[in-house]
Amino acid sequence: MPHDYSCLETALARYARVALLDGFTPIQHLSRLSALPELNGCNLYVKRDDLTGLGGGGNKLRKLEFLLGEALAEGADTLITWGGLQSNHARLTAAVAARQGLPCELILTPSSIRTDEDFRHNGNFLLDALFGATIHQLPLGAAPDAFAAERVAALREQGRKPFVMPLGGSSPRGCLGYSACAGELLRQSDALGVQFDRIIVPNGSSGTHSGLLAGLTLAGSSTQITGYSVLGTTEQTLATTRDKSSQVLQLLAPSAVLDEARINVDGSQRGEAYGAPTDAMLAATRLLASREGLLTDPVYGGKAFAGLLASIRQRDIAAGSNLLFLMTGGIPSVFAYRGAYS
């Protein structure tokens, strides 16, 4: 039975939004992977949010559609955000600012896990400069939010109107981007004639997971979501996802109630720390590349895909399930992690 998207679309239309995607991103069947006996007859599909186009692509563009809408509605003339040295969100904020003709300032913090030359100079960091952003590199342990507040004050003194994009783009307003994606993938599911039993996502700042869950809830879809935590502990990620999902659902429909039993977070693939490579991630990214010719990043998608494969092999997922893996992009970081693949 086709889904009803009207309530979701009406709710989303209340919020300012700037179109940054060229239509729907495709859903593709991984036929060669699905044929592997070890995958127990499961049908693997991917939602190609790595193909969003602008700035090298990635899931953050969906969030930036609503955040940029909010910024322009407030009359902003400068975009500011912060993140790690290889932040996908920072890269795409810089690309969006370039497209809009706005100055952009990125506040980047180093990693205590990786300090090699590729990590410090390649990947997203290289692209940030190409997009024309002003880059502020902070020392390890410095507080980027405090530095951002200083930059906001300094710019306002100059008569500018800066807008601070939240970490990972994952404010409740930014999360609306993935509520919109929920409606998109439900339309595609109906068109394909495939009912997905489960959607699998990486969960860092919880915005993608939370936005999807809120959107599916409002659309009346029972499809389950599993988020593989790559940043916080399982408990931290579960709490953040619960809070953000509730906040996003309140933006969409104040009377709606979140079923907290639907929040499924798996922390088995995080490894020793955020951004730390794992053997399972390396094996999963190599399998996807060598079997299907597709790339997924080592920080987010690689760990979530490793978790999906492990769940199938351990028979935690029913045989023959239709599974949709959300490819969130972040491909430039593959080059920053060259040493991990050596």
Average pLDDT over residues 144-157: 97
Domain 6-58+170-341 has CATH 3.20.20.60: no
- pLDDT score of 93 more than 70: yes
pLDDT, tens digit (0-9, with 9 covering 90-100), for 151-168 = 999 999 999 999 999 999
The question of whether 34 is a catalytic residue gets the answer: no
Active-site residue (options: 87, 179, 245, 333): 87
Report yes or no: 211 and 179 within 8 Å, Cβ to Cβ.
yes
Query: What pLDDT does 79 receive?
Result: 98
Q: pTM of the predicted model, to two decimals?
A: 0.97
Query: Which residues, at least 6 apart from 64, have a Cβ–Cβ distance to it below 8 Å?
Result: 20, 92, 93, 96, 165, 169, 174, 177
60-73 helix and 207-219 helix, angle to the nearest 10 degrees: 80
pLDDT, tens digit (0-9, with 9 covering 90-100), for 32-56 = 999 999 999 999 999 999 999 899 9
Spatial distance between the Cα atoms of 319 and 315, rounded to a whole number of angstroms:
8
Query: What pLDDT does 2 receive?
Result: 60
Torsion of CA 323, 328, 332, 334, to 10 degrees: -40
- pLDDT score of 1 more than 70: no
Query: What pLDDT does 6 receive?
Result: 84
pLDDT, tens digit (0-9, with 9 covering 90-100), for 301-330 = 999 999 999 999 999 999 999 999 999 999
207-219 helix and 234-252 helix, angle to the nearest 10 degrees: 50
- Is the backbone of residue 329 left (phi > 0), alpha (psi -120 to 50) or beta? left
Average pLDDT over residues 128-132: 98
- pLDDT score of 4 more than 90: no
Cβ burial, residue 26 (10 Å; 0-12/13-18/19+): exposed
Strands 27-29 and 43-48 turn out to be antiparallel
Among 306, 221, 240, which Cα is nearest to 270's?
A: 306
Query: What pLDDT does 206 receive?
Result: 97
60-73 helix and 88-100 helix, angle to the nearest 10 degrees: 50
Domain ranges of the chain: 6-58+170-341, 60-168
- pLDDT score of 335 more than 80: yes
Query: Which residues, at least 6 apart from 197, have a Cβ–Cβ distance to it below 8 Å?
Result: 223, 224, 318, 321, 322, 323
Mean pLDDT of the chain: 97
pLDDT, tens digit (0-9, with 9 covering 90-100), for 53-66 = 899 999 999 999 99
pLDDT, tens digit (0-9, with 9 covering 90-100), for 198-209 = 999 999 999 999
* CATH architecture of the domain with range 60-168: 3-Layer(aba) Sandwich (3.40)
